[in-house]
Amino acid sequence: MALIVHKYGGTSMGSVERISNVAARVAKWHRAGHRMVVVPSAMSGETNRLIALAREIQAQPDPRELDMIASTGEQVSVGLLAMALKARGVPAVSFAGWQVPVRTDDAFTKARISSIDDARVRAELDAGKVVVITGFQGVDPDGHITTLGRGGSDTSAVAVAAALGADECLIYTDVDGVYTTDPRIVPEARRLPKVTFEEMLEMASLGSKVLQIRSVEFAGKYRVKTRVLSSLTPPDIALAEESESGTLITFEEDETMEQAVISGIAFNRDEAKITIGNVPDRPGIAYQILGPVADANIDVDMIIQNQSRGGTTDFSFTVHRNEYQKALEVLDGKVRAVVQAGEITGDPKIAKVSVVGIGMRSHVGIASLMFQTLYNEGINIQMISTSEIKISVVIDDKYMELAVRALHKAFGLDNPAA
Amino acid sequence: MALIVHKYGGTSMGSVERISNVAARVAKWHRAGHRMVVVPSAMSGETNRLIALAREIQAQPDPRELDMIASTGEQVSVGLLAMALKARGVPAVSFAGWQVPVRTDDAFTKARISSIDDARVRAELDAGKVVVITGFQGVDPDGHITTLGRGGSDTSAVAVAAALGADECLIYTDVDGVYTTDPRIVPEARRLPKVTFEEMLEMASLGSKVLQIRSVEFAGKYRVKTRVLSSLTPPDIALAEESESGTLITFEEDETMEQAVISGIAFNRDEAKITIGNVPDRPGIAYQILGPVADANIDVDMIIQNQSRGGTTDFSFTVHRNEYQKALEVLDGKVRAVVQAGEITGDPKIAKVSVVGIGMRSHVGIASLMFQTLYNEGINIQMISTSEIKISVVIDDKYMELAVRALHKAFGLDNPAA
């Protein structure tokens, strides 16, 4: 008998029939003797409907009030799922984030979880109930409702699993696991039965949409055994089979992994790059540039600054494409005069492509094979950034698919696993 | 500068444009220097949509989970209205019932307010903000969300006004006040500029849909100056004119009222009558009949028991028409054997018609005029019940309109006010 957390996305909760399927699946786990906590998203389309309504009222919706509104989608979902469980004779109770409570900071629309009280949930589990908790939301120190941003329900599920010391957190999605790359781009892509936490972190941050990055961070920080698996299997699939399906995020590098140098090719075309030319090479300059950008709540991904030539250098970084214009305005208004820089240029039509693999740590030649492969395809590399387990390049976005396919083949990912 | 509570119904909140109109009206009051609290209902149709969704999942929705779901409609409304105010430059903040908190008992779907904490609302008012509070809902001692039942937002508004010691509570509706009877049935019906709390209480309980009865009870208990007025006037109507419009519920009987014996004709066709024949005339019998009915959460309105003849009597009562079948089942299952009664009969096709007036206390002959009028129209009276300020009769529902028109005329209500 284990304590298990299930998370279901908006598609799985998209209709009365689908909610009934979710209830059937959870009931199966409950009948098998497991203590069950379920974190569902809002019904698909609901969050978008609420945000659109808010935008009709106020073009730039007040973030505190937007969270008040957007959080209701998940509240409806937990009530409906608890009812669907009860309709099947499974005792169940729902909680909104503030009722648990799931405590967060006060960064409305992108809050971070600070702590989760487990007493109330544990008491209901002890009473034999399935506990259904809203994803995506919490409550700040002043008692205001906050939301965690898009995909926040993944984070809620893993954080709840961590707070309860759950044996496993199962994230049900519309794909059946984590792949070596997106099968829509490379048909030969293979599902990975396991992936390390570090690799998953890089995959998530590099644009693999399977899990929200913060949920992976939580999984790593609290060592939550997390599995990504399909919500499209029949709800009555044998529990033994279901619990071995999908992709397990692990925290140990076993031998099999050591042999696979590269586990996947990740990519992202949501970014835009900005370069500030002829920046004086003096202490504090990076802070003077990125401070105002951060103050405007614009997240920065890659940051590149090369060796200076003749006392100046070029400073480049990437931001989400949606925040490209805003970032340019901040640079024009608050940065240009202070840093006495040259021209500010940018390009929203870029893509980032990365090779990711825990095995990279102990292998040379990965970078060289990557650059050679891109050269062979005639693809120019605009920016390069590396970490211990990935190498990312920025290229013209029209070459993205070509680059992903070529790299997937070059790194031997097309071959079936030995 | 006064502290004013506004309440807006679902129709007033029914679209983005209408919410914007509500914001314009509230902004006008705020600009005039008043401290403003606003209690809006869910957007029209929203509560019904949510309840229908719940019923699709579970035919008899779990009440605790139903409240979790149904309460979201008002939460969306307060967020949208706070945004609409901010979009007009008016500082505003929204609160859900649990945030205030509005404390209730744990009778899900029909909870009663036990107390309202005014500290948080007062702090925001002191900071110059308009405070927008969800109607219809609160939080029980265990931190579960509760709702107050249909029309509960009226009660929320009056209760909030009482807790804050507000100078006036303005209930904006789609009618422009309280009438001598329903103008759709009697075109000569007149608006009452004032009505006493006691009369309003009888009118509300007798089916005048203008205000929910519990809101009137609250107004009376805490002596909240409450005004019912139209939400259909232009939002920029002069404040002096608006604040004198509609119908004021008063707590003093002034001279004008003393002269009007009857202030209105109320009616209700939502009820059904049930009679248990040949009930033994012994102590405790009423409790043995109505105890199980109350335990099944069925509200009873009129109760009639006449002098016994030969050791038995007939016991009659009325319930809401929706609960007629359920009440019959309870009587069949739990009551019949215990009380050893005769036949249980009932009729859902009845109407209750009442004459209401504070002046009735000191006048004789009201009952006689009422009964004579019905006799003249050939209408048979099935049941009679009286209070200090009203006389109600149950008649066949097909005669309801006829009875209302005849009584309105007979009591001189057709004549324009002197």
Give the tens place of pLDDT for each residue, A344-373.
Answer: 999 999 999 999 887 776 666 788 888 889
Question: Cα separation of A359 and A76, whole Å?
Answer: 44
Structural domain includes residue B193: no
Q: What is the pLDDT of residue B208?
A: 63
A149 shares a domain with A72: yes
Give the list of residues 6+ apart from residue A41 with CB closer than 8 angstroms, or none. A7, A8, A9, A10, A12, A13, A73, A74, A77, A135, A136, A153
Q: What is the pLDDT of residue B257?
A: 46
Q: Which residues of A194-232 are buried (b: 16+ CB within 10 A; e: fewer)?
A: bbbbbbbbbbbbbbbebbbbbbbbbbbeeebebbbbebe
Classify residue A304 by burial, with Cβ atoms within 10 Å: 0-12, 13-18, 19+. Answer: middle
A17, A49, A50, A76, best to mutate vs chain B, most B CBs in 10 Å: A76
CA-based nearest residue to A274, from A346, A352, A351: A346
Please report residues of B whose CB lies closer than 8 A to that of A143: 99
Structural domain includes residue A296: yes
Calculate the alpha carbon distances from B405 to B271, B357, B397 in Å.
20, 17, 14
Of A252, A279, A312, the domain-final residue: A252
- Under DSSP, is residue A412 helix (H, G, I), strand (E, B) or coil? coil
Enumerate long-range contacts of A330-337, CB under 8 Å, 24 or more apart.
Answer: A330/A292, A330/A293, A330/A296, A330/A298, A331/A274, A331/A276, A331/A289, A331/A292, A331/A293, A334/A292, A335/A276, A335/A288, A335/A289, A335/A292, A335/A293
Tokens coding B323: 């609960």
| Partner residue facing B80 (CB), from A54, A64, A71 | A54
Tokens coding A336: 């240009």
Tokens coding A154: 């993944």
- Under DSSP, is residue A182 helix (H, G, I), strand (E, B) or coil? coil
Q: Which residue of A has its CA nearest to B101?
A: A143
Question: Cα separation of B355 and B404, whole Å?
Answer: 9
B326 shares a domain with B338: yes
For residue B340, the tally of other CB atoms under 10 A from its CB is 11
Q: What is the pLDDT of residue A207?
A: 60
Q: Do B79 and A54 touch (CB under 8 A)?
A: yes
Question: Cα separation of B37 and B123, whole Å?
Answer: 12
Q: What is the pLDDT of residue B8?
A: 96
Structural domain includes residue A84: yes
Domain of A402, CATH number, reads: 3.30.2130.10
Structural domain includes residue B306: yes
Q: What is the pLDDT of residue A294?
A: 84
Number of H helices, E strands in chain A: 15, 22
A229 shares a domain with A94: yes
| Partner residue facing B94 (CB), from A20, A65, A80 | A65
- Amino acid letter at A94? S
Domain of B71, CATH number, reads: 3.40.1160.10
Question: Cα separation of A409 and A404, whole Å?
Answer: 9
Q: Which residue of B has its CA nearest to A139?
A: B99
Number of H helices, E strands in chain B: 15, 22
Question: Cα separation of B28 and A50, whole Å?
Answer: 27
Q: Which residue of B has its CA nearest to A99?
A: B143
CA-based nearest residue to B121, from B134, B108, B106: B134
CA-based nearest residue to B67, from B104, B28, B121, B19: B104
Question: Cα separation of A398 and A377, whole Å?
Answer: 13
Q: pTM of the prediction? A: 0.79
- Under DSSP, is residue A329 helix (H, G, I), strand (E, B) or coil? helix
Structural domain includes residue A348: yes
* Residue A267 contacts residue A184 (beta carbons within 8 Å): no
Q: Do A80 and B53 touch (CB under 8 A)?
A: yes
A418 shares a domain with A297: yes
Give me the percent of chain A exceeding a pLDDT of 70.
95
Residue B43 structural domain: 3-175+210-252
- Please, what is the end-to-end C-alpha distance for chain A in angstroms? 34
| Partner residue facing B57 (CB), from A16, A53, A99 | A16
Q: What is the pLDDT of residue A415?
A: 67
Q: Do B83 and A61 touch (CB under 8 A)?
A: yes
Tokens coding B400: 């309801």
Angstroms from A204 CA to nearest CA on chain B: 32
Q: Do A82 and B99 touch (CB under 8 A)?
A: no
Touching B: A residues 276-295, CB under 8 Å = none
- Under DSSP, is residue A113 helix (H, G, I), strand (E, B) or coil? strand
| Partner residue facing A94 (CB), from B50, B65, B82 | B65
Q: Do B57 and A66 touch (CB under 8 A)?
A: no
Question: Cα separation of A406 and B342, whole Å?
Answer: 89
CA-based nearest residue to B227, from B195, B264, B263: B195
User: Which DSSP symbol is given to B326?
Assistant: H
Is the pLDDT score of A87 beyond 60?
A: yes
Question: Cα separation of A229 and A176, whole Å?
Answer: 5
Q: What are phi and psi of B318, to 5 degrees?
A: -120, 145
The answer to whether residue A14 neighbours chain B at the CB level (below 8 Å) is: no
A126 shares a domain with A30: yes
Give the list of residues 6+ apart from residue B95 with CB closer than 8 angstroms, or none. B78, B120, B121, B131, B132, B133, B134
A124 shares a domain with A10: yes
| Partner residue facing B57 (CB), from A62, A87, A96 | A87
Phi-psi region of A284 (alpha: psi -120 to 50; beta: other; left: phi over 0): left
Tokens coding B112: 């009663």
Mean residue pLDDT across chain A: 89
Structural domain includes residue B282: yes
- Strand residues in B86-154 grouped as ranges (E): 92-95, 102-104, 113-116, 130-133, 137-139, 145-147
Q: Do B87 and A19 touch (CB under 8 A)?
A: no
Which residue bears the tokens 């003393």?
A: B258
The answer to whether residue B270 neighbours chain A at the CB level (below 8 Å) is: no
Structural domain includes residue A269: yes
B260 shares a domain with B161: no
| Partner residue facing A79 (CB), from B20, B68, B76 | B68
User: Half-sphere exposure of A23 toward its Cβ, with a 13 Å CA cutoff?
Assistant: 25
Angstroms from A103 CA to nearest CA on chain B: 15
Touching A: B residues 21-80, CB under 8 Å = 50, 53-54, 56-59, 61-62, 64-66, 68-69, 71-72, 75-76, 78-80
* Residue A395 contacts residue A265 (beta carbons within 8 Å): no
Give the list of residues 6+ apart from residue B198 with CB closer than 8 angstroms, or none. B220, B358, B388, B389
CA-based nearest residue to A346, from A300, A392, A309, A391: A300
B316 shares a domain with B306: yes
- Amino acid letter at B53? L
Question: Cα separation of B339 and A175, whole Å?
Answer: 64
Of A252, A282, A302, the domain-final residue: A252
A231 shares a domain with A169: yes
Question: Cα separation of A105 and A270, whole Å?
Answer: 27
A68 shares a domain with A100: yes
Give chain A's domain count.
Answer: 2
Of A201, A219, A252, the domain-final residue: A252
Q: What is the pLDDT along chain B (418 residues), one digit of tens a residue?
A: 899 999 999 999 999 999 999 999 999 999 999 999 999 999 999 999 999 999 999 999 999 999 999 999 999 999 999 999 999 999 999 999 999 999 999 999 989 999 999 999 999 999 999 999 999 999 999 999 999 987 789 999 999 999 999 999 999 988 888 888 888 889 898 888 998 888 888 877 666 667 877 888 888 888 999 999 999 999 999 999 999 999 999 887 555 544 567 889 999 888 999 998 888 877 777 888 888 888 888 888 888 877 777 788 888 899 999 999 999 999 988 888 888 878 899 999 999 999 988 777 666 678 888 888 999 999 988 888 877 788 888 999 999 999 999 999 999 888 665 4
B333 shares a domain with B243: no
Give the confidence band of A418 by pLDDT, cuts at 50, 70, 90: very low
Structural domain includes residue B183: no
B166 shares a domain with B86: yes
